[in-house]
Amino acid sequence: MSARIIDGKALAEQINAETAATVAQLKARHKLTPGLAVVLVGDNPASVAYVSSKDKMCTRLGLHSERINLTSTAGQRQLLQLISDLNSKKEVDGILVQSPLPKQISEEAIFAAIDPSKDVDGLSPINVGKLALGDPTGFAPCTPSGVHQLLLRSGVAIEGAHVVVIGRSHLVGRPVSLILSQKTPQANATVTLCHSRSKNLAEICRSADILIAAIGVPRFVRADMVCVGAVVIDVGINRVEDKTAEKGYRLVGDVDFDAVKEKASLISPVPGGVGPMTIAMLMHNTVRAAKLRHEIA
Amino acid sequence: MSARIIDGKALAEQINAETAATVAQLKARHKLTPGLAVVLVGDNPASVAYVSSKDKMCTRLGLHSERINLTSTAGQRQLLQLISDLNSKKEVDGILVQSPLPKQISEEAIFAAIDPSKDVDGLSPINVGKLALGDPTGFAPCTPSGVHQLLLRSGVAIEGAHVVVIGRSHLVGRPVSLILSQKTPQANATVTLCHSRSKNLAEICRSADILIAAIGVPRFVRADMVCVGAVVIDVGINRVEDKTAEKGYRLVGDVDFDAVKEKASLISPVPGGVGPMTIAMLMHNTVRAAKLRHEIA
């Protein structure tokens, strides 16, 4: 029996439609247009592509969008000044600084400088702390929120389930483990956080009801690491060489999709799984930030 | 074979001796006396006892100590004003507000109001966030730090081990799971966070190399939940009725000690295990806060 394949694009479109409806309402009733500022430093091709798609999505859903591009030689002071300006700018409800940043700039310092109420990417220490404390006034990072929504909107029973997360990055593994172990009926999972130093990794993965791969290694999760009937969410986006492809490469996830889909009950593909959810959650968070800032319920 | 029993009092005394030596040095070389302010609201007997023992320990180790007792009817505004005064008070390097607080006061609001650089109890969102992000400039809460030190100073191999934590409180379970899964040679464990909603709890506990009980239920961990040779750390402090005891009650942990010690390789008792470590880590954190504030390496 082959797994049901999650259509991340369709689920993201559900969220985007909800967001667009809220934006239309805010414009009509409150003369308010939520705004997102996206900051890009340098010209890394993947980052340029991400920033463009965020920009386009803002336009599509009716949000105000600002795009600021600094050269790759920009200094930390310059970026901090820009953040400070955006923190006080009226039209901007959310600020996203595209990572990775060039080496001369400390990501920690930059994320910590974003006004927590505009930190729609949820990477500042105070928002991470609120997430760990189950305080709902903060913002959770977009990719793990997207994973959570994928599970919820696919009807997966999270409460009491054993979730195994592979990878403890700040962007995905760590926050997704915090979200799914929160004390709420939408979470309440037992969560195991694994990583490169974990012993008996295959055995631990086989004990998962829900397996989340976010380790950044192409096809790391093999079929023998998955128990029959498990739900498998693949957060990886890896470029592998492919001479038959037009660009010379192909995107694959952290899961050996073709083999694992024969054992899993539900699986997310790459591309078309978690990816579209990340942008959807960014738009959702920006609109929520606008409502909170203007005290609209 | 019976487990080796951890002497938490002796290990805490190691840390206290280190702290006292640092305090003596700070006084001699820098004319600096680290200071701790402990705030108690009301007169809960257990809280009064905790506050007294913190006070005494400050005196013993040479720290300046202030104790502020508000009546149980004190309002949130009054406590916030007090915190604000302590935040700017020169002699105070660390602030501890004894929990639990009376119902009219939001613990979240109080913890968030403490200057993060004086939050030696590590409960403010920003310090919790730094802990989750592996940022060593913050303060980790005292009890989970004490558990970490118990393991390290008992020579337990944490790296790569499977740690199962029972209980996801802000004070213990959640932060200990963050500490032990950090990407450092002193941690690097695979951590599973369990709680009241976890399914197959006994089975998960049996897969633990290190089992940490912090659920607040007397003798919750039975022998059949522990695998032979496991390390068992008991964070529970529960009062159970005992007519033969002078006070009419006795303190027991979350672990069925007598039965579990026959299977474990190493076990912490209650009392005399984690308890003394909590105060030792509070003193350690306060001295560290003083050094950081005065930029002493």
pLDDT computed for residue A224 by the predictor: 98
Q: Are residues A35 and A155 in the same domain?
A: no
Q: Are residues B151 and B53 in the same domain?
A: no
Could you tell me how many residues make up chain B?
A: 297
Nearest to A190 among B124, B174, B192 (CB): B192
B10 inside domain: no
- Please write the tens of the pLDDT for every residue from A66-124: 999 999 999 999 999 999 999 999 999 999 999 999 999 999 999 999 999 999 999 99
CB contact under 8 A, A133 and B131: no
Strand pairing report for B210-213 and B231-234: parallel
Total domains in chain A come to 2
For the cut 80, the answer to whether the pLDDT of residue B279 exceeds it is yes
A134 inside domain: no
- Percent of chain B residues past pLDDT 70, beyond the cut: 100
Q: Are residues B254 and B178 in the same domain?
A: yes
- Please write the tens of the pLDDT for every residue from B263-275: 999 999 999 999 9
Q: Are residues A146 and A256 in the same domain?
A: yes
For the cut 90, the answer to whether the pLDDT of residue A281 exceeds it is yes
CA dihedral A206, A208, A210, A216 (to 10 degrees): -60
Q: Which of B121, B209, B234, B256 is catalytic?
A: B121
B67 inside domain: yes
Which residues have a Cβ under 8 Å from the Cβ of B211 and sit 6 or more positions away? Answer: B163, B164, B166, B205, B221, B225, B226, B230, B231, B232, B233
Q: Are residues A150 and A260 in the same domain?
A: yes
ipTM confidence: 0.95
pLDDT computed for residue B100 by the predictor: 92
pLDDT computed for residue A164 by the predictor: 98
Nearest to B197 among A170, A188, A199 (CB): A188
Q: Which of B54, B118, B261, B263 is catalytic?
A: B54
Yes or no: say if A165 and A194 are a contact pair by the CB < 8 Å rule: yes
Q: Is B98 in the active site?
A: yes
Q: Are residues A96 and A166 in the same domain?
A: no
Kindly state the tokens that stand for B290.
Answer: 């003083």
Q: Are residues B162 and B99 in the same domain?
A: no
Q: What distance in Å separates the CA atoms of residue B58 and residue B20, rounded to the nearest whole number?
A: 9
3-state secondary structure B76-91: HHHHHHHHHHHHHCCC
Kindly state the tokens that stand for B240.
Answer: 């159970």
Q: Give the CATH number for residue A46.
A: 3.40.50.10860
B111 falls in which pLDDT band (50, 70, 90)?
very high
Kindly state the tokens that stand for B109.
Answer: 């609001």
pLDDT computed for residue A285 by the predictor: 98
B297 falls in which pLDDT band (50, 70, 90)?
confident
pTM of this prediction?
0.96
B206 inside domain: yes
What φ, ψ does residue B64 adopt, rounded to 5°? -75, 140
Yes or no: say if B223 and B244 are a contact pair by the CB < 8 Å rule: no
Yes or no: say if A6 and A268 are a contact pair by the CB < 8 Å rule: yes
A4 inside domain: no
For the cut 90, the answer to whether the pLDDT of residue A1 exceeds it is no
Query: Which residue in this structure is represented by tokens 């990340």?
Result: A278
Nearest to A168 among B135, B161, B181 (CB): B181
A297 falls in which pLDDT band (50, 70, 90)?
confident
- What is the mean pLDDT of the segment spanning B148-176? 97
For the cut 90, the answer to whether the pLDDT of residue A279 exceeds it is yes
pLDDT computed for residue A16 by the predictor: 98
- What is the mean pLDDT of the segment spanning B107-129? 97
- What is the mean pLDDT of the segment spanning B60-71? 97
| Beta strand extents in B13-76 (DSSP E only) | 35-41, 64-70
Which of A64, A96, A115 represents a domain boundary (last residue)? A115
Kindly state the tokens that stand for B212.
Answer: 């940490």
Q: Is A98 in the active site?
A: yes
Q: Nearest Cα to A103, choosing from A82, A84, A75, A70? A: A75
- What is the mean pLDDT of the segment spanning B91-111? 96
For the cut 90, the answer to whether the pLDDT of residue B1 exceeds it is no
Kindly state the tokens that stand for B118.
Answer: 């004086």
Q: CA of B257: how far to CAs of A277, B224, B242, in Å?
A: 48, 12, 17
Q: Nearest Cα to A275, choosing from A120, A36, A57, A19? A: A57
For the cut 90, the answer to whether the pLDDT of residue A167 exceeds it is yes
A284 inside domain: no
- What is the mean pLDDT of the segment spanning B236-243? 93
Q: Nearest Cα to A263, choosing from A215, A216, A218, A208? A: A208
CA within 13 Å, CB half, A250: 10
- Bridge partners of A123? none
Q: Are residues A150 and A111 in the same domain?
A: no
Q: Are residues A250 and A147 in the same domain?
A: yes
- Percent of chain A residues past pLDDT 90, beyond the cut: 98
Q: CA of B158: how far to CAs of A15, B65, B121, in Å?
A: 42, 35, 24
Q: Nearest Cα to A121, choosing from A277, A285, A235? A: A285
pLDDT computed for residue B53 by the predictor: 95
Q: What distance in Å separates the CA atoms of residue A193 and residue A198, rounded to the nearest whole number?
A: 9
- What is the mean pLDDT of the segment spanning A210-225? 97
Q: How far is C-alpha A140 from the geometric centre of its chain's CA atoms?
A: 9
Q: Does B229 touch chain A (CB under 8 A)?
A: no
B204 inside domain: yes
Q: Are residues A104 and A49 in the same domain?
A: yes
| Average confidence score pLDDT of chain A | 97
- What is the mean pLDDT of the segment spanning B32-57? 96
Q: Are residues B91 and B165 in the same domain?
A: no
Q: Give the CATH number for residue B155.
A: 3.40.50.720
Residues of A with Cβ-Cβ distance to B124 under 8 angstroms: 129
pLDDT computed for residue B6 by the predictor: 98
Q: Looking at CA atoms only, how far is residue B59 from chain A in angstroms?
A: 33
| Beta strand extents in chain A (DSSP E only) | 4-5, 35-41, 64-70, 94-97, 162-166, 190-194, 210-213, 231-234, 238-241, 249-252, 266-267
Q: Is A115 in the active site?
A: no
Range of the domain at B185: 142-276
pLDDT computed for residue B154 by the predictor: 98
Could you tell me how many residues make up chain A?
A: 297
Q: How far is C-alpha A266 from the geometric centre of its chain's CA atoms?
A: 20
Q: Does A172 touch chain B (CB under 8 A)?
A: no
- Please write the tens of the pLDDT for every residue from A20-77: 999 999 999 999 999 999 999 999 998 999 999 999 999 999 999 999 999 999 999 9
- Please write the tens of the pLDDT for every residue from B122-153: 999 999 999 999 999 999 999 999 999 999 99
pLDDT computed for residue A232 by the predictor: 98
Q: Are residues B156 and B246 in the same domain?
A: yes
A296 inside domain: no
What φ, ψ does residue A90 adopt, rounded to 5°? -60, -40
